[in-house]
Chain A
Amino acid sequence: DAGITQSPRHKVTETGTPVTLRCHQTENHRYMYWYRQDPGHGLRLIHYSYGVKDTDKGEVSDGYSVSRSKTEDFLLTLESATSSQTSVYFCAISESGTGTTDTQYFGPGTRLTVL
């Protein structure tokens, strides 16, 4: 298994509170991604990073921010959580990111419930 951990694994929070999810990798891969997975929508990209301090938006980035101060850590922050952000969040890593001969490996996921 790729060395990817996510914390916390489960979280219940209230509407309006800030939440930070952490993804940690031991593979020294350049690219890191945050997805959310919801029934009927599949995996949707929130944000991704192509290096330390280099990030870009995905298709569902509104309400989320990210930071990457070290190669191994990628943080996802919900500034003010809403019930629509209740979801399962997956982190993924990729060595080169181009996808031509590379692929993404997923962490175990974080189940977030916003009440």
Chain B
Amino acid sequence: QKEVEQNSGPLSVPEGAIASLNCTYSDRGSQSFFWYRQYSGKSPELIMSIYSNGDKEDGRFTAQLNKASQYVSLLIRDSQPSDSATYLCAVNHFGNEKLTFGTGTRLTIIP
């Protein structure tokens, strides 16, 4: 079983709709959760971080964390063509210096 799992996609969403990206993790000791966006041929860039159960909102992005069910999700409201990218979920165990990444979900926003 992979430590961090994401649906590889591709996930196609109409422009203006809500895109929902999901990530599950196996280590119950995980404490920190990150979403990165990676455009084709570019490096990953941080979008959101979340550490507590519940929702965290930043503009059009909302991260949701449920530690009991071991999943973290990213919602993108009012999806734009510029949101088309691969989204990487990363997880960190408390006090651990290393992140574990999922393989990413490719998102395509259809105009």
Contacts and interface: CB of A to CB of B under 8 A. Distances in A.
Contacts of A107: 43
21 contacts: A33-B98, A41-B103, A43-B88, A43-B101, A45-B98, A48-B97, A48-B98, A98-B92, A98-B94, A98-B96, A99-B93, A99-B98, A100-B92, A100-B95, A101-B32, A101-B51, A103-B49, A104-B99, A106-B43, A106-B45, A108-B42
A43 B99 CA distance: 10
A83 B47 CA distance: 33
Given A100-B31, A103-B46, A108-B43, A42 B101 contact: yes
Interface in A45-64: 45, 48, 50, 58
Interface string B38-64: 000011111001010000000000000
B102 to A, nearest CB: 6
**Is the interface on chain A under 10, 10 to 19, 20 to 34, or 35 or more residues?**
20 to 34
A42 B104 contact: yes
Contacts of A105: 46
A90 B98 contact: no
A33 B92 CA distance: 14
Residues of B contacting A: mostly: loop
Interface of B: 31-32, 34, 42-46, 49, 51, 88, 90, 92-99, 101-104
A97 to B, nearest CB: 4
A100 B46 CA distance: 15
Nearest to B2: A42
Interface of A: 31, 33, 40-45, 48, 50, 58, 90, 94, 97-101, 103-109
Nearest to A58: B98
B97 A99 contact: yes
B97 A106 contact: no
A87 to B, nearest CB: 14
A85 to B, nearest CB: 19
A40 B106 CA distance: 12
A31 B43 contact: no
A1 to B, nearest CB: 9
